Every structure is written in C-alpha cells, then in structure tokens.
Chain A
C-alpha cells in the first residue's frame, strides 16, 4: 500500500487545496500518472501516482484544504485491505457499523479548548486578519469543523471590501513629451447617456464606420506638379497633410476617452500603419499639421525603412493621437480598420481606381477612392464623423487651395 501525499513544492508552502481528483476510487493508476490537482501558493500543480496499482481510497475530497505532507489517498492492489490505523474498517460479510470517518487530528480541538481560538487554516486566519473578520463568529465547514478560506469569504460577502481605486498619481515624467491637452470636456450629461446606451454590449471602444468616396483627380494632378518641383514626395504624405488639417477643425477625432473625460489633444501626431514582414507597426509622425508635405514625406520614408529593418525606436511608436492606414496599394477598396486604442478614430484609405461617376448629370470616368473613417461612438456621433470626412474630402479634391502652403 502506497500513500499519496501533497508535496511541499516551496519552502514557504504550508497548505494546499485539493481542487480535483483525476481518478476515482478503485480506478487503475500508473506510476508517474497525474491523479490529483492541488492549488497552493497561487499555483496549480498535478500530483503523480507514486506507484502503479489501484486508487484504493481517497481520504480528502475535492475542495479540502489540507496541510502539506498530509496523506490524501492510498494506492494498492485491487481489493487490498486498507490499514486499520487509517480508521477505515474493511467491510465483511456480516453487517458492520459504518466505517469510522477520517477526522482531522485533534490539534484543532485542543486549540479551541486551550486557546479559545476557532480552529482555522493558516490561509483562513490570514484572510480574516486582513479583512477584520472575527473567526469566532465564523462557522467552519472544513474537516473537523475547521474554518477554511471559503468560510471566511462567505462571511466577507456581507461586508463587501471594495477598496476604491486611489486617484491617479502625478504623471511619471517620461523621457518623451506627451501630447499636450488643449481642452477637456467633462464626460457627463447627454454625452454620457449616449455612451452608456451605445456601450451596453461593448465597454471598450464602440466602433462605427462611415465611408465617403473622393474624386482623386485633382490630387493626382497636384501630386505630379509638386513632384516636378519638390522631388520625390509621396501621395500618402499629401493625404496625411489633408487629414492633419481636417483634424485641426474637427478636434474631437484627435482625442482619447480617459475615465470620465474626453481629452482633446493639443498635438496632432498621426500614426501611419506600415506593414512589415513581422506584422503591422504604427510609427508616429509628430505634429503632422505643422510639418510640410516634404517633411511628412521624408518622415514616412525614414520610418518605413526603419520599420523594415526593425530599427524603430520606442519613442517613434508612442504618442500617436490618430491613425491612418492605406490599403490602396493592396487593391482594397473599402475596409473597417480597428481603432488603435486609446485613440478615438482611425482613417482607412482604399485604392484609387477609375470608376464611372455622375457629374452634372453626365457619366464620366474619374479616379476615385473610398475613405473609411472608424470612430468611437462613445466619444462622438455620426454627423460629426460625416462632417470630418467631408472636410478631408474637400481638402483632397481641392489641393491647390487647401494644401498650397505646403
């Protein structure tokens, strides 16, 4: 007959809880096979059978909290008698009194008698002390009436011990300058009511997509003309410049929802999604609205090269306030990108393709692209989103006027 004990897996471990028996009584077990799952010291571990045989007796059921090195089961041969010193009487043909229950050692009873203290596991005592629970008022449900952790937790149910989250500390001065906050709008009243309604199911970002077609003819013409004078400037840089300008007058899309406040950022730092062999990265072009198209174009080139070579620094990835993702080169027309938390919106750009459109009641062919704006509906609504997108469209369709001071 072999004893199964709960091992002490750490010098500090004093007790464990049997969470699950993987085998039933009288089921065959093999040496080294996991037969028991124990939780102790924040870790769950499997206890293996010390020998091959049959699990003859389980002494503590699942849920029992026991001290380490306690014998919790016996493995033997099929039908082998269990030693009487364990208190179990082997069944005989004649009617016998019911088998003796295995009781916890009388230490607990002695404790109560001598010290007047309710017998409790070390974990239960620790929890009770932490939350001010008087153990003498707690009914124990463990072996021998011992108070276990669940008994203390049950007593605590009547006294909810919610520790409120303390006010946020002063910001740790980071190595980078965080984007400045220009304005704080209290998240309350109608705004909050709308947010609560729309976020019944989702309690992080509530994404809504608005799309708009843009005639890119003028932008493409403008692009060709400035390339002739300014060198190799990217089309994405022109689009980013237009988006940055639009964000100046539609600042709610350049924001973050932080607890009970919608924080409108002072700075417009556009993150540009770049696909690399190792996945998507979103390096940030700081103060995009204050940079020229050439500066934005150079930044895009430099960041893309670094991204491909895994040389992006962390400060180049942090501090984004709005994201643009261009799937046009991949022939995607319309898509709903995921908002880059904790930002409030993201703009997707589809491919530029010649499509028939109606202008002045005539069907003409124009290079069109679809812009897809995904915004957080807790922060703003569809109409402001449409107005923002319309502004981007206006800037892109009249670049000579809107982007001329590049």
Chain B
C-alpha cells in the first residue's frame, strides 16, 4: 500500500517567515505532532545563507541593497543561494526511524532525500545526476543544491531547484560561484511552469519512495511555533 505524506504548498512574501516555517515543521515532527511532510515554497527575491557562513565572502551586499534583495539566514548549513519566484524550494521532513532516513552516513541523506527531485527532472526529459556531497547537476551545471538538519528523532532536508530563475540576478548578488548553473527552462528550451515542476517531483516521490502526497495545511501548533521563530530569523538577518 502506498504511504501518504502531507503536502504543504505554503509560502509567504516574508522570507524570514518562510524560513521559520521549515524549522517549525522540523520541531513539530520531532515532537511527533506533525506527519511526514513535503513542502514546496518560494522566496520572491532573497539570498539565503547558512547561519555560520561568511556573508561578506559569499554575498554582494551592495547588489542586495541595490535590488532590494533580502538576506536570510537558514538554520541548516551551507553556502549562499539566490532565490526568486523562478526557484522552487523543496523541503522534506520525516522521523529518523523512517526507512528513507536509515543511512550508513549523513552524506547519504542528500542522495536519498533528493532522489524524488532527481527523478522528477528525469521525468521532464532531462538527463541529470546526483553529485556528492549535495547537488544535482545537468552535465557540468548545477541545478539543485541542498542542506540538512538532523535532530534526535527527526530529519529535515531542504533544497532548491532552478526552474526559471533570473540568472543575471543570481550572478549579481552571489560572489562565490563555485560551479556554473542552469535552469529547467534553459535545458528544456520551452517555458515550464512551477506547477509542472511540482507535479514532476510528486511523481518522483511516487516512483522512488512509493509515497503519495495529500494537500494539507499547517496545524495550530505549527502556526504558533512559526510565530515564535520568525523573530529569531529577523534578528539573524543581515539586512
């Protein structure tokens, strides 16, 4: 029988609130008051950077100021990414005793958790591959990066997928581009909507993990946790 997970299509204009949602979901799953969840979300115009990374080395603050780009810390590690409405963020949270979370090492987290996204890209007709430690590439160009947070009872993995991001903006605000990047639209050479990308990933979940998703919503407890966390993300913000 197919397993059913909650699908959350929850995004806000406030990028700090968006980040607070992800952490709130992890806390809720940790406390066993929320089901296994897949979330899709986007930021309008933001740089998101691991909290303990060097902002000055990775981000052009002058470009952020010029373009009104928010700078948001995330509670997971890793370098800076640029996010606009052409970038689809995906978040997967499950309990650590779930079969997909049982791995020999933490680096397997990324390969296993991102496999539905990789499958989704292939469903769209694009040859892509997972490249350790935590990226999906199309040839020599990166299309998805990810980060994770492991708690005692739960695990969260979230990442990006460049669907039709404004790459000019991306290269303006990010200083450190370790690899070339590409988008689904460039690779397909045809317009592609967010809905199509989400649908492909959901199908990927079905194929890879035998998981179906059902549209759900935030619980009252989760909303309360988000409210408490938003202040922290605003305080962490460099903007």
Q: Which residues does A use to contact B, with CB under 8 Å?
A: 9-13, 17, 19, 32, 34, 39-46, 48, 63, 130, 150, 153-154, 156-157, 160-166, 168-169, 171-172, 174-176, 178-179, 200-205, 256, 259-260, 271, 278-282, 314, 317-321, 340-343
CB distance from B60 to the nearest CB of A (A): 9
Whether B106 is near chain A, meaning CB under 8 Å from some CB there, is yes
Q: Which residues does B use to contact A, with CB under 8 Å?
A: 9, 44-45, 50-52, 54, 56-58, 67-69, 75-78, 84-86, 104-110, 123-127, 133-134, 139, 141, 146-152, 164, 166-171, 174-182, 185-196, 199-200, 215
The verdict on A48 contacting B152 (CB below 8 Å), with A165-B171, A314-B196 known, is: yes
**Complex Cα–Cα for A98 and B166 (A):** 57
**Complex Cα–Cα for A202 and B68 (A):** 8
Of A43, A166, A169, A320, the residue contacting B149 (CB under 8 A) is A43
Closest 9 A-B residue pairs measured CB to CB?
Answer: A171-B189, A10-B105, A178-B190, A45-B150, A153-B57, A39-B77, A153-B54, A9-B106, A163-B177
Which residues of A lie under 8 Å from residue B179 when comparing CB positions?
163
**Complex Cα–Cα for A92 and B126 (A):** 70
Pairwise interchain contact B149-A45, C-beta atoms closer than 8 A: yes
Pairwise interchain contact B76-A203, C-beta atoms closer than 8 A: no
The verdict on A44 contacting B149 (CB below 8 Å), with A10-B107, A19-B77, A202-B44 known, is: yes
Pairwise interchain contact A172-B187, C-beta atoms closer than 8 A: yes
CB distance from B14 to the nearest CB of A (A): 15
CB distance from A371 to the nearest CB of B (A): 22
Give the one of A172, A282, A319 with max B CB within 10 A: A172
CB distance from A106 to the nearest CB of B (A): 28
**Complex Cα–Cα for A179 and B185 (A):** 12
Which residues of A lie under 8 Å from residue B166 when comparing CB positions?
203-204
Of A46, A166, A202, the residue contacting B151 (CB under 8 A) is A46
CB distance from B139 to the nearest CB of A (A): 7
Of B52, B85, B109, B169, the residue contacting A39 (CB under 8 A) is B52
Give the one of B9, B77, B182 with max A CB within 10 A: B77
The verdict on A175 contacting B189 (CB below 8 Å), with A42-B148, A43-B148, A160-B175 known, is: no
Which residues of A lie under 8 Å from residue B146 when comparing CB positions?
42
**Complex Cα–Cα for A19 and B150 (A):** 14
Which residues of B lie under 8 Å from residue A164 when comparing CB positions?
171, 177
**Complex Cα–Cα for A19 and B178 (A):** 23
Of B50, B168, B200, the residue contacting A314 (CB under 8 A) is B200
Which residues of B lie under 8 Å from residue A63 when comparing CB positions?
52
Of B78, B107, B123, B189, the residue contacting A12 (CB under 8 A) is B107
**Complex Cα–Cα for A45 and B26 (A):** 12
Of A40, A45, A318, the residue contacting B188 (CB under 8 A) is A318
Pairwise interchain contact B54-A154, C-beta atoms closer than 8 A: yes
**Complex Cα–Cα for A46 and B56 (A):** 27
CB nearest to A156 among chain B residues? B57
Which residues of B lie under 8 Å from residue A165 when comparing CB positions?
167, 170-171, 177, 180-181
CB distance from A48 to the nearest CB of B (A): 6
The verdict on A19 contacting B51 (CB below 8 Å), with A13-B105, A45-B106, A318-B191 known, is: yes
**Complex Cα–Cα for A156 and B79 (A):** 15
23 interchain pairs, CB-CB under 8 A: A10-B106, A13-B105, A13-B106, A17-B52, A19-B51, A19-B77, A44-B148, A45-B106, A46-B151, A154-B54, A164-B177, A166-B141, A169-B186, A171-B186, A171-B189, A204-B84, A256-B191, A259-B168, A314-B124, A314-B200, A318-B192, A342-B86, A343-B191
Pairwise interchain contact A203-B69, C-beta atoms closer than 8 A: yes
Pairwise interchain contact B152-A34, C-beta atoms closer than 8 A: yes
**Complex Cα–Cα for A166 and B133 (A):** 23
Which residues of B lie under 8 Å from residue A281 when comparing CB positions?
195
The verdict on A42 contacting B134 (CB below 8 Å), with A163-B180, A171-B189, A314-B199 known, is: yes
